[in-house]
Amino acid sequence: MHNKFLITFDSMPRGTAQMKRYNSYTRTYFKSKALQETHRQFALALKPYKPKKPSEAPIKLCIWLAFDIKSPKRLWGTWKTTKPDCDNYVKEFIDVMTELGWWKDDAQIVDLRIRKTYAEKASIFVVWEELKERPE
């Protein structure tokens, strides 16, 4: 199975996986308000593309993050080399995909590719593919 879709935002959600907090009294981690809001925005945006049933196959996942920048326009299409870090940002996105049922467990993702650029409109382009059990 091979799927691709584009989701857009008025502005790119700002929370990352590093925004988890620790409560020393209860000895538990919890999500900051910014991360909770990012989770909510990702869930709303991803819901229409949710597959009918979770995959059990190995997964190849490509994510292109296009962060909005109004000016200078000359930056559109160039690499975004500033924060947030790709890996921290995408972690919450993948967690939401797992929660919504793209696959049984995000450990099934065996090939992960992330791009981070500037664009006029905030968006995330996703391509995911079920792989065969053995690499060719």
Higher-scoring residue by pLDDT: 32, 102: 102
CA-CA distance, 1 to 94, in Å (whole number)? 18
In a domain, 91, yes or no: yes
Q: Is the pLDDT of residue 96 over 60?
A: yes
What is 75-120 written as a DSSP string? GTTSB--SSSPHHHHHHHHHHHHHHHTSBS-GGGEEEEEEEEEEES
DSSP β-bridge partners for residue 113: 62
- Asked whether residue 79 is assigned to any structural domain, the reply reads yes
pLDDT at 46: 97
pTM of the predicted model over 0.75: yes
45 belongs to a structural domain: yes
pLDDT of the residue at 49? 95
Instruction: Look at the chain and report how many structural domains it folds into.
Output: 1
- Answer whether residue 71 is part of any domain: yes
41 in any annotated domain: yes
pLDDT at position 70, please? 82
Tokens standing for residue 40: 């909510």
The whole domain housing 72 covers 2-130
The answer to whether residue 136 is domain-embedded is no
- Domain CATH for 14: 3.30.1330.70
What value does the mean pLDDT take over residues 31-52?
91
Domain membership flag for residue 135? no
pLDDT at 102 (0 to 100): 95
